[in-house]
């Protein structure tokens, strides 16, 4: 089991015969890795016996060190347990502590909008982002894909339903809000905090991929769909088992929603709609199970636009990945 070490102890190991370095408060013995380092041993010798976190982060993701568990020999700090450290961290003020550089409530000033429940929520979501998302951000961005497990984890800790607005969807959400927030006290400021903290993952694609489609695709179902549809669709989306998106934009009708051309015609028996058209730049569209789709059921203009819920399993539904300049994972 890795032991607790001090910075002074690490500083004693700075020769070619014994090199220790610190990366994110973990101590690694890289003596036997000198000749294997892609940049050559001089790169490691320059940071021998020091905290090399900054240099490491310039060129690597945290996943790199996971490939060499045998190099880990200890950690920097006191004998404080992980749970104690988490508690101490969550109770402290956030931000850079620069006067007027942060919202005042970050630093425990009185606020008419933010209280203790908001601070607890911020701490819980921040911990989730730092442990479950940040170490994998680069990998998932490059792969243009977010593992399904992340959606389920985010639901279990009470994050996914938080992006669908207030009040908390108690009837359809399996799990309560993160941070011990009571469902009845959840408000729009809690929702803002969740999005704000998720953005710290450093990837717009992962932020949008995890919450973008859900945050705009499910609310129309929650607010305007009939009871049967809400009961069938909402629980799966809020538990992370299913994905949903909002399909509005078209190649020829972006912000001009009233000008969209995708049409839906009712069959002669009045039981089904036949939908023809295409949508583009749809956040989460490439992997969504459900599509909340704006279609034209009437004449020109906004008066002829309706919303349909279309399931991926329906005949004729096809999606493909767009090669965008960013936000790949969404």
Structure tokens at 25: 């408060």
pTM of the model: 0.70
pLDDT digits (tens, 9 = 90+) for 106-133: 777 788 999 989 999 999 999 999 999 9
Which of 69-73, 140-144, 307-311 reaches the highest mean pLDDT?
307-311
Cis peptide before 141 (omega within 30 of 0): no
Q: Say which CATH topology domain 3-76 has.
A: Flavocytochrome B2; Chain A, domain 1 (3.10.120)
Average pLDDT over residues 303-309: 93
Query: Distance between CA atoms of 103 and 92, rounded to whole angstroms?
Result: 15
Domain 104-238 top-level CATH class = mainly alpha
pLDDT digits (tens, 9 = 90+) for 235-258: 999 999 999 999 999 987 677 888
Where do the CATH 2.40.110.10 domains begin and end in the chain?
244-311
Where do the CATH 3.10.120.10 domains begin and end in the chain?
3-76
Residue 319 or residue 94, greater confidence: 319
Q: Say which CATH topology domain 244-311 has.
A: Butyryl-CoA Dehydrogenase, subunit A; domain 2 (2.40.110)
Which of 20-29, 161-170, 276-285, 319-328 is least confident? 319-328
Angle formed at CA 314 by CA 309 and CA 318, multiple of 5 degrees = 95
Tell me whether residue 291 is exposed, middle or buried, using C-beta atoms within 10 angstroms of its C-beta: 0 to 12, 13 to 18, 19 or more: buried
Query: Distance between CA atoms of 246 and 290, rounded to whole angstroms?
Result: 9
Where do the CATH 1.10.540.10 domains begin and end in the chain?
104-238
Average pLDDT over residues 180-197: 95
């Amino acid at each position: 089991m890795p032991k607790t070490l001090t910075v002074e102890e690490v500083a004693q190991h700075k020769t070619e015969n014994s090199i220790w370095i610190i990366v994110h408060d973990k101590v690694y013995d890289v003596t036997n890795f000198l000749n294997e380092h892609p940049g050559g041993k001089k790169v490691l010798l320059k940071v021998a016996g020091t905290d090399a976190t900054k240099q490491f982060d310039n060129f690597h993701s945290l996943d790199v060190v996971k490939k060499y568990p045998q190099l880990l020999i200890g950690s920097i700090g006191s004998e404080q347990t992980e749970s104690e450290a988490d508690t101490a961290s969550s109770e402290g003020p956030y931000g850079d502590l620069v006067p007027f550089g942060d919202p005042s409530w970050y630093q425990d000033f009185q606020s008419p909008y933010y209280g203790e429940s908001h601070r607890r929520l911020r701490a819980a979501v921040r911990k989730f982002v730092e442990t479950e998302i940040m170490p994998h951000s680069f990998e998932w961005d490059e792969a243009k894909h977010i593992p399904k497990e992340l959606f389920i984890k985010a639901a279990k800790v009470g994050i996914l339903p938080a992006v669908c607005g207030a009040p908390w969807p108690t009837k359809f959400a399996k799990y309560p809000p993160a941070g011990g927030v009571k469902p009845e006290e959840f408000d729009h400021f809690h929702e803002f905090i969740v999005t704000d903290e998720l953005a710290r993952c450093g990837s717009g694609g992962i932020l949008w991929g995890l919450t973008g489609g859900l945050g705009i695709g499910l609310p129309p179902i929650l607010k305007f769909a009939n009871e049967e549809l809400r009961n069938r669709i909402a629980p799966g989306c809020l538990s992370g088992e299913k994905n949903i998106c909002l399909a509005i934009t078209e190649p020829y009708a972006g912000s001009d929603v009233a000008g969209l051309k995708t049409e839906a015609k009712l069959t002669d028996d009045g039981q089904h709609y036949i939908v023809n058209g295409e949508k583009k730049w749809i956040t989460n569209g490439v992997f969504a199970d459900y599509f909340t789709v704006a279609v034209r059921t009437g004449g020109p203009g906004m008066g002829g636009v309706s919303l349909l819920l279309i399931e991926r399993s329906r005949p004729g539904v096809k999606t493909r990945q767009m090669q965008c300049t960013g936000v790949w994972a969404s």
